[in-house]
Amino acid sequence: MNTIMLATSAIGGTRYKEVKNAMLAALAASEWKGGEAIPSEKRLAERFGVSIGTLRKAIDELVADNILVRHQGLGTFVAQHQRDRHFFRFFRIVRQDGDKTYPTVSLASFKRTKASREIASALGIEPGERVFSFVNRLSLHGESVIVDHIAVAESRFSGLTEKALRERPSTLYNFYQDAFGINVVGTDERLRVAKADEMEAELLGVSAGTPLLEVRRIAYSYHHTPVEVRISHVNTERYEYMGASTTREETS
């Protein structure tokens, strides 16, 4: 076990932030994995040399950030991606009547390539480093609605193959977690308008040049480390983007 010591200069209200950062470092080092219980509050307080109250304040923030989850009577656990409770935190496309459903995903293309300057900057790697680039088509209610263009760094997803991606038994972020130990804990998204290119037109069953909603996403793991760049093009004829809730939700 890697022991992470706190800076002795941390005082007063900043001490719990030091504890929080130390716990994030332990999570990033896979000391505690998704679905596992973290050590008891007493053990953690002793490890970091703080009071139980200071430790609880750090844990409270990690729970509010959907990184840890409390189960009454059982303890505090590392949040993990589960289809039924975690999915719609990150999937925000719904039918215009508000109906939510899980997409059917098909892999349209997969390649290993060099990162462009834009992709490299978003992923925090050097231009020209190897990335895996793939395209998914997502169908909702039997209708092709979304085309996702996704890039991840080979250095973080070593060994990723088209076969593993195509045959994964779960959601993509669940796959990242189970196969590579990478937990997505947050995303940044920006919206704009785009037009369907030839490939997207074929995948979505629309004419080339049809206006689409473009969602540009960077997904982050612990310490705000970027792990995925995704550009989604959405046919909004019958579907729309539902923004994230303004209140924090308990994760699973």
> What distance in Å separates the CA atoms of residue 243 and residue 91, rounded to the nearest whole number?
10
Inter-residue contact 139 to 145 (CB < 8 Å):
yes
For the record, the structure tokens of 214 come out as 């473009």
Instruction: Output the six-digit token pair for 236.
Output: 């909004």
In the chain, what percentage of residues exceed pLDDT 90? Answer: 56
Average pLDDT of 11-24?
78
Topology of 83-241 in CATH? Chorismate lyase (3.40.1410)
- Residue 81 confidence class, pLDDT cut points 50, 70, 90: low
Domain boundaries, the chain: 12-78, 83-241
Span 169-190, mean pLDDT? 91
Task: Determine which of 22-31, 105-114, 162-171 has the lowest per-residue pLDDT on average.
Answer: 22-31
Please state which CATH number belongs to domain 12-78: 1.10.10.10
Per-residue pLDDT, 165: 96
The overall pTM is greater than 0.85:
no
Angle at 106 between CA 104 and CA 110, to 5 degrees: 150
| 96 within 8 A of 132, measured Cβ to Cβ | no
Alpha carbon separation from 64 to 45, 68, 79, 149, 250 (Å, rounded): 20, 8, 11, 30, 7
What would the pLDDT profile of 145-166 be if each residue is shown by its tens digit? 999 999 999 999 999 999 999 9
